[in-house]
Chain A
Amino acid sequence: GNSVTQMEGPVTLSEEAFLTINCTYTATGYPSLFWYVQYPGEGLQLLLKATKADDKGSNKGFEATYRKETTSFHLEKGSVQVSDSAVYFCALSGWAGSYQLTFGKGTKLSVIP
């Protein structure tokens, strides 16, 4: 079946540091890949997506590239801010009886001034 594995947290960074959150997946066929972000007390928000191999999704300074050869979709940001503190979820949309999202466990990011 489909599965997503993302790096364990929590991750604590200083403001302006470089961020990488690793995500790898297992799926049949050609899934679409997503990063969602969940701020404290809020629902999940779509951060970025990529629908085919070598696509790069980007939003708010975050980027992730769909790497089919390594089945990865790592999230990166060059300079994090305190306001980026949240939980980040990697997810894939693939066929499992219907098209549905399969999520990783989430990585909590804390950015300190």
Chain B
Amino acid sequence: EAGVAQSPRYKIIEKRQSVAFWCNPISGHATLYWYQQILGQGPKLLIQFQNNGVVDDSQLPKDRFSAERLKGVDSTLKIQPAKLEDSAVYLCASSQGLAQYFGPGTRLTVL
């Protein structure tokens, strides 16, 4: 069974630029999550989708972050404009039940 796919694996941008990350969950998983993991910390939930609807986006900085899951399968997370403090690993996870399965993440560096 294929795991959660993410791209790109690494991205370096300058502050005030925009960036987008892509995630393809495990086939059949209805729930998709985006997490931000800052160095030395545990992942923090940004947004949770159930099929193509948003379940929880209370910790998403909506002035600069946006996410969509238009067809209930893959998802895109965008940051515009990026700030230095957005440097982190962005993890996508999916679930069909209790356990969540994570992708390899995208490491973002904002200079």
List residues of A whose CB falls within 8 A of some B CB. 4, 32, 34, 36, 41-46, 49, 51, 89, 91, 93, 97-98, 100-101, 103-106
Residue count of chain B within 8 Å CB distance of chain A: 23
Known pairs A45-B102, A101-B45, A105-B41. 19 more at Cβ < 8 A?
A32-B98, A43-B6, A43-B102, A43-B103, A43-B105, A44-B93, A44-B102, A49-B99, A89-B43, A93-B98, A97-B56, A98-B48, A98-B55, A101-B100, A103-B43, A103-B44, A105-B40, A105-B42, A106-B40
Tell me the number of A-to-B contacts counted with CB atoms below 8 Å. Answer: 51
Task: Report the bound CA distance from A106 to B37 in whole Å.
Answer: 11
Query: Is there an interface contact between A100 and B56, defined as CB atoms closer than 8 Å?
Result: yes
Query: Is there an interface contact between B42 and A46, defined as CB atoms closer than 8 Å?
Result: no
List residues of B whose CB falls within 8 A of some A CB. 4, 6, 33, 40-45, 48, 55-56, 58, 91, 93, 98-105
* Distance to closest chain B CB from A67 (angstroms): 19
* Distance to closest chain B CB from A90 (angstroms): 9
Query: Is there an interface contact between B43 and A44, defined as CB atoms closer than 8 Å?
Result: yes
* Distance to closest chain B CB from A39 (angstroms): 10
Query: Is there an interface contact between A46 and B100, defined as CB atoms closer than 8 Å?
Result: yes
Query: Is there an interface contact between A98 and B56, defined as CB atoms closer than 8 Å?
Result: yes
